[in-house]
Structure 1
């Protein structure tokens, strides 16, 4: 098995955009596709590694770009949340960019367009939930330590995409009452949903780039057990979706 990467420049509202595919080049038949939506910083090496790990499960991984080609940040940038805040202020535009990225995934020659899902991390977790809320055509979404505020447009009912939320109980950005409100929202939307809460974890618990680095704020840190357990939960979720 040889996992390869392929960069893809594609169009969309406010584009161009640049994403990354990962797949096993020895498999010639169409397989399920999983779109990865990065955190506040945009596409980076750790996201491409996530796509590769998805490919090792037998799927095609695709790191989406919702900020625009070349629009990337680091935590040492002057304003690391700049591009995220632009989309937080225009959730309709975010929805449309997510749709454009999904279209690229579904149109990739190695992907079965009827079997797709979305993984999202932090801000990307919000994006994954918005995919379900907007009724975009996927079988399921997974939010890892996401942000749960609702968009300003009316979502669909019923929510057809199955939803898995992997949540750090100590997350200061999404405290327990926000998690409960999300569960209520998903229930009102008639979704098939589940929330896994990890008692020792806060925000960014999968962010391997933070491993061994002192937290910049309380409750925001890598947590190995939650990372490992959430990956297993999400992998089982995909197996159920695509089985």
Structure 2
């Protein structure tokens, strides 16, 4: 190999190493002692601390999709943690199980908040995280979780909900919402109908919140998840599954909206 070829190979290898996304599973506990599993991701080519983003999974649980979103955020330069709202990192592809997991997690609003805060504290404890620059994103069930955290005034700079459940456990009070809020909703979402969007807007208007709702044309529930079409038919035999569908256009556009929000609040 010539000296030039060797140098070129070293440059390429060095560049790849610098761009590596580091990931790890971190065991932690909820305030009630429940064993939880977080999936943490960051870019080791970035020096120093950076904004931290919590990722809250869909009703399926902490699956590969939620973990992928943590890696996507890490690639954008964030310190990202996909948290566990069900315990022991459990997940499913069966709608009945997912429904049961979600209902159990939401049975107590204080317990759900405490479990979110345990994940947020874990993210803040990572050496790559700037604890003064925090945000949260959530999908489906996770969208409700992060919106409820905004309603409760949890100190987050921004919150983004993707095809999230919009109904409030407790409606936001005037002045309570500190985060800038982004809601990405599918026009053809039959699981969270447009009437829920209207109610949400009324609630956040009354609360004086800084929010934006984006309706993604022709998109169904779970429009960001490439597995949505498969999952709409998985695990329920001859019964009709949930009305889900992936939309690449809505996925990409909603992700760009999130990036714009983060650039606004974090400057990156």
TM range (shorter): over 0.9
Is the partner of 2:135 in helix, strand or coil? strand
Aligned ranges 1:1-243 → 2 under 5 Å: 1-14=19-32, 15-70=34-89, 72-76=90-94, 79-152=97-170, 157-211=175-229, 217=241, 219-243=243-267
Report which of the two has the higher share of helix.
2
> 1:26 Cα shift?
2.2
Seen in structure 2, the aligned counterparts of structure 1 residues 7 and 155 have a Cα distance that, compared at 3 Å, is farther
Seen in structure 2, the aligned counterparts of structure 1 residues 92 and 175 have a Cα distance that, compared at 3 Å, is same
> 1:218 Cα shift?
6.7
> 1:223 Cα shift?
1.3
Is the partner of 1:128 in helix, strand or coil? helix
> 1:92 Cα shift?
1.9
CA deviation digits over 1:42-71, x for unaligned, max 9? Answer: 11111111111101111111101111114x
- TM-score, length-normalised on structure 2? 0.85
RMSD: 1.9
**Structure of higher CA gyration radius:** 2
Seen in structure 2, the aligned counterparts of structure 1 residues 173 and 214 have a Cα distance that, compared at 3 Å, is closer
Cα pair 2:136 2:156 within 8 Å, conserved: yes
Seen in structure 2, the aligned counterparts of structure 1 residues 155 and 101 have a Cα distance that, compared at 3 Å, is farther
User: CA separation in 2, counterparts of 1:190 and 1:34?
Assistant: 24
- TM-score, length-normalised on structure 1? 0.93
User: CA separation in 1, counterparts of 2:108 and 2:82?
Assistant: 21
Structure 1: segments with no counterpart, 5+ residues: none
User: CA separation in 2, counterparts of 1:229 and 1:154?
Assistant: 28
Tell me the number of residue pairs that the alignment of Structure 1 and Structure 2 aligns: 242
> 1:134 Cα shift?
1.0
User: CA separation in 1, counterparts of 2:176 and 2:209?
Assistant: 6
> 1:169 Cα shift?
1.4
Is the partner of 1:208 in helix, strand or coil? coil
